[in-house]
Amino acid sequence: MTSRVVWLMILVFGVCILLACGVLPGLRLQPAEASFGFQMPTPERVAAPVKAGAKAVVPFAMLPSNHMVVQATINNKGPYRLIFDLGAPITLLSNRASEATGVVRGDAPRSILFSMRGEAEVARLQVGELTATKLPVIVFDHPALRVLSEMLGHPVDGIIGFTFFARYRTTIDFQARQMTFEPINFPIRDLLRELPDRLTGPKVARRRVLAPLALWGLRLSRKGGNLEALGVPIAEVFPGSAAALAGLRAGDVLTSLDSYWTTSVADAYTAAASIEPGREIRVGILRDGKEQSLMVRPVDGI
């Protein structure tokens, strides 16, 4: 057995324990509320794939365990009920759904632990108005999902985790029971591949210096930048700079930079650190309380 398989089993076992801790107490406390509360759209009502950069709305229902559940089609088959879990480092799919949708072959080998098939890929997953392609998943039968399915009388076939939601800026409206997804340009890390090195590698403190890759010509205010803020105020725009030529002004609030959500100065520096000189990118701002977007082309220089 390779070390990667061992770490995969450890990761899966950890996910099982975490979800079981959240699912089982909720089922005991509020079994009467076990209702999914919405119907999967008929084929005539299914929305077309959302264009790049557009927002997509996905309805969800709350389970007694306080988990959000969505209905999805996988490789144009379904619907299947999936838990949406911001705390899950992986996206997992049951053997039942994986075989029925062609994600894995029916004769693919299984491990003794949870009938695990290992890593696979969903070619097309659609939830609400949103379509995701080439989604990496781990195929196995999660014991907590099996218990949840039995209690609710409906099969629950998987968990949507980091490999899915890291692609989007996500807004959750609990009152309306819907999520809004906006695609972002974010490099998705392979947590499974990194896990062995993170756990067994040397524990050396590393310091990372954030700096823009190109010159923008603006100065950000360090006041007000936090998780609850709408963005970071622009304190100054230098005359003749790339920011000035694009129309940015002092007093504007920077809300996004190249699809990165900027709620702090560190967010803005992180986004600017990967933008090469001469590449035109979209910047989102608030001006007089209204959302606007401008195109900025940062320049080379010192």
pLDDT at 246: 94
pLDDT per position as a tens digit, 215-239:
999 999 876 545 456 789 999 999 9
- d(CA 70, CA 36) in angstroms, rounded, equals 9
pLDDT at 143: 80
SS3 145: helix
pLDDT at 48: 42
Return the closest-CA partner of residue 256 out of 49, 85, 55, 51. 55
Query: How many Cβ atoms from other residues are within 10 Å of residue 33's Cβ?
Result: 12
All structural domains of the chain:
3-200 (2.40.70.10), 218-296 (2.30.42.10)
pTM of the model: 0.58
pLDDT at 211: 82
Report which residue type is found at 229: A
Cα dihedral sign, 218-188-51-40: negative
Query: How many Cβ atoms from other residues are within 10 Å of residue 250's Cβ?
Result: 13
Mean pLDDT by 10 residues, the chain (302 residues): 50 50 44 40 40 75 83 90 85 88 78 67 89 86 80 85 85 89 71 58 67 89 62 92 93 89 87 90 91 92 76
DSSP letter for each residue of 163-208? HHHTTEEEEEETTTTEEEEEE---PPP-HHHHHHHHHHS-------
pLDDT at 198: 56
- d(CA 276, CA 152) in angstroms, rounded, equals 51
φ, ψ of residue 245 to 5 degrees: the values are: -65, -30
pLDDT at 244: 94
Output the six-digit token pair for 90. Answer: 């992986």
